[in-house]
Amino acid sequence: MSSVDLIDRAGDIRAGEELDTDRLRDYLEPILGPVAKTLEVTQFPGGHSNLTYLLSAGNQRWVLRRPPFGSKVKSAHDMSREYRILSALKDEFAFGPVPEHFCDDHEIIGCDFYLMNCIEGLVIRREYPAGLQLSPTQIRQQLLNFFDVLADLHSVDLVAAGLDSFGRPEGYVRRQVEGWCRRWADSATPNTVDVYATMQWLHDNMPAESGKASVIHNDYKLDNVIFSADNPLEVIGVLDWEMATVGDPLMDLGCTLGYWVQVSDPDFFRESRTMPSDIEGAPTRREIIRRFQEKTGLSVDNFPFYFCFGLFRLCVIGQQIYYRYYHGHTKDERFAGFLKKAFVLQQMCELTIKGEVTD
């Protein structure tokens, strides 16, 4: 298989997520030029939150980002915020897409949206692509590189990026715990999982702030990263900045670790994994934390809290996604399974609180 065959491709648009292509072409003509008249629109696979489309005209390509249809959580889908932080990072962080145009006219496709450049490469989802033949040593290096880019993001100079007044880093840990607990209450359904003991534990075990304010991605995971198709160990892009802000980098690390399933984890958790982090060569959470500390100079002294928070946050996100399906706001059948995922994540929270999960 050639490197070209490994590139992440856009395809058919999912039912219920179509755009008004004619209106979009007319709107973009003054911005993109006559080429806009021939734009073809396809949709990238994956994605349960903000939606990502490929706009193609000849050999020119752009990516369009818009909020999901039927979402109740408007604050998590702020296109102007996503556009602003990418604009600020374009000269300070080498891995972010370059935003090119923002639109707040809802007459075009019914919502805010923006365009950015298209970064073409390899995206790793639940399994490694069959044609990607990496040794355990290469897998380890690739995944360590993945975490090194997160450390690079946390090292961005806020003043140089013009983001020193972006977000509210003071009191960030408490606001995150309280905010995600509220989001749970707002998205609960009659068949929901019981998370109240976890929420109380998070309230009772909040550590002090790390003392460092950083740009944080808030959803840093493998399928939000693009690797080079020619050198699959190299990260060339970081996507999906909808929840990015300025806050405590240890909370950002915890959010990523919430996705990180390793070989020593219980079978029920490994079966629910969304990325291949439990294969031979993949670093453990303990090794990741050690490397993160070396790269950032920060000390991760409260692993159970950060890991449990990361798990709980994903549990809430799963419930929010399921809420949209439960109330008929989306026809996407993938969303039906998120209730089960919420139960799995809550079970892992319970084991972490009991001290039965290792780092």
Residue 2: is its pLDDT beyond 90?
no
Note the pTM of the prediction, 2 decimals.
0.90
Compute the radius of gyration of the chain from its Cα atoms: 20
Whole-number pLDDT of residue 279 = 94
Between the alpha carbon of residue 357 and those of residues 103, 173, 213, 261, 324, the distances in Å are 46, 22, 29, 11, 32
Between the alpha carbon of residue 236 and those of residues 68, 92, 239, 270, the distances in Å are 26, 14, 10, 28
Whole-number pLDDT of residue 335 = 86
Q: Give pLDDT tens digits for 54-105.
A: 999 989 999 999 998 865 444 556 899 999 999 999 999 999 999 999 999 9
Segments making up each domain of the chain, as ranges: 3-117, 136-353
What CATH number is given for 3-117 in this structure? 3.30.200.20
Mean predicted lDDT score pLDDT of the chain? 92
Between the alpha carbon of residue 264 and those of residues 261, 270, 291, 308, 351, the distances in Å are 8, 9, 19, 17, 13
Q: Count CB atoms within 10 A of the CB of residue 239.
A: 24
Q: Give pLDDT tens digits for 178-198.
A: 999 999 999 999 999 999 999
Tokens of 212: 């460092």
Q: Give pLDDT tens digits for 243-262.
A: 899 999 999 999 999 999 99
Residue 5: is its pLDDT beyond 60?
no
pLDDT band at 31 (very low <50, low <70, confident <90, very high): very high
Architecture of domain 136-353: Alpha-Beta Complex (3.90)
Between the alpha carbon of residue 118 and those of residues 99, 149, 285, the distances in Å are 10, 19, 32
